[in-house]
Structure 1
């Protein structure tokens, strides 16, 4: 009788919930925000901040390395769960900003050109990274209007696009490159080229760096809320400030 009762209770007891799969978040190498070692993600401020914030809400993250435009497409199609640092896109539900990044124009040290608003770009070809956002404002609008005009823009593609732009600048194949300040600092150090570069003005508006989820995904709002809650906890505990110091980013 006792055995029968025990078996009955076991059958009626609820089964434990299966552990949720890790969230697959992707982007290309864009250190110090998304850093890579070979073909794998190796940390970075956005990677560590998102992982820490979601871990505080009981969620795990599996970061993936792929070109940004592909990461956006894979997110929209539901093949991965989200993308680090996408540009504004109606197909995506964007999280609260994890950080803000200022984009600046760079020339060789001997150049006298300086950015002084969009009018100063007339007649100037600027090296950019295709599909990247720079300020969610006037500069991104300028890029959209001039996309496909080689005389105005020289886009680079792929996971090494930032390094490609820097090398084009160093070899005189483009006179001006637009890049986020913290990213260019890393690239210039990597190429031992800091002394050869000149910062020639910066955009007025900083770009909010977010995580994007597919707008029509049934879990997008829950993931967005979980990330926001976790970031608040990390800010209150000082963990975000520690991450900013680790990756040599300014406090926002």
Structure 2
């Protein structure tokens, strides 16, 4: 199942004079946002602000926290958000689309399981990332499932990959 969604830069402020530093946050979601303040979203955003002489500071923090801080005007922008995140958090949309992402299921190399419909997820332990928007149907399934695991923190994908590798979850549901 692939759902094409747009990844957006979410701004929660109006650009001020060039002396202000813009604080931008996101969780690590390489190749978009990587641990060493690289990744193509980070680099494109940096270049855009540099072109208008605005300094930037990037922070890698849990995604849910980044959305809350933007809502509270404690940071200026969040990278890699969907229009659903912007609406739910009541943030200002920059109308700048930097890329697309898709949703996919991953299983251990020894598994023969394949996805064809939501019914296939019944009785499966599913790992996903807290705060990510996977579509209304999948979000509902993940919330209702007693065996789903929603990772958070600065490296939730790494956590979920470790769980899958160790056989603690059956399916990893991931945006890429």
Structure 1 119/149 Cα, relative in aligned 2: closer, same or farther at 3 Å?
closer
Structure 1 86/142 Cα, relative in aligned 2: closer, same or farther at 3 Å?
same
Cα deviation for residue 145 of structure 1 reads: 4.9
1:217-243 deviation line (CA, Å, top 9, x unaligned) = xxxxxxxxxxxxxxxxxxxxxxxxxxx
Runs (5+) with no aligned partner, structure 2: 1-15
Contact 2:21/2:54, CA 8 A, preserved across alignment: yes
Distance in 2 (alpha carbons) for counterparts of 1:129 and 1:97: 22
Contact 1:68/1:86, CA 8 A, preserved across alignment: no
Instruction: From the two aligned structures, give the one with the greater helix fraction.
Output: 1
Distance in 1 (alpha carbons) for counterparts of 2:137 and 2:97: 20
Alignment partner of 1:65 is 2:60 = yes
Distance in 1 (alpha carbons) for counterparts of 2:19 and 2:119: 51
Structure-2 residue corresponding to 1:121: 121
Distance in 1 (alpha carbons) for counterparts of 2:53 and 2:77: 17
Instruction: From the two aligned structures, give the one with the greater strand fraction.
Output: 2
Cα deviation for residue 106 of structure 1 reads: 0.7
Structure 1 157/18 Cα, relative in aligned 2: closer, same or farther at 3 Å?
closer
**Of the two, which has the highest radius of gyration?**
1
Once superposed, what is the RMSD of the aligned Cα atoms? 2.1
Alignment partner of 1:33 is 2:29 = no
**Number of residue pairs aligned between Structure 1 and Structure 2:** 156
Structure-2 residue corresponding to 1:75: 70
Structure 1 124/117 Cα, relative in aligned 2: closer, same or farther at 3 Å?
same
- Name the SS for the 2:97 alignment partner: coil
Runs (5+) with no aligned partner, structure 1: 1-16, 182-252
Structure-2 residue corresponding to 1:111: 111
Structure 1 174/43 Cα, relative in aligned 2: closer, same or farther at 3 Å?
same
Give me the TM-score of the superposition, normalised by structure 2: 0.79
Structure-1 residue corresponding to 2:50: 55
Query: Which of the numbers 154, 162, 165 marks the counterpart of 1:159?
Result: 154
Structure-2 residue corresponding to 1:149: 145
- Name the SS for the 1:53 alignment partner: helix
1:82-116 deviation line (CA, Å, top 9, x unaligned) = 11113423212233221111221111112111111
Structure 1 97/168 Cα, relative in aligned 2: closer, same or farther at 3 Å?
same
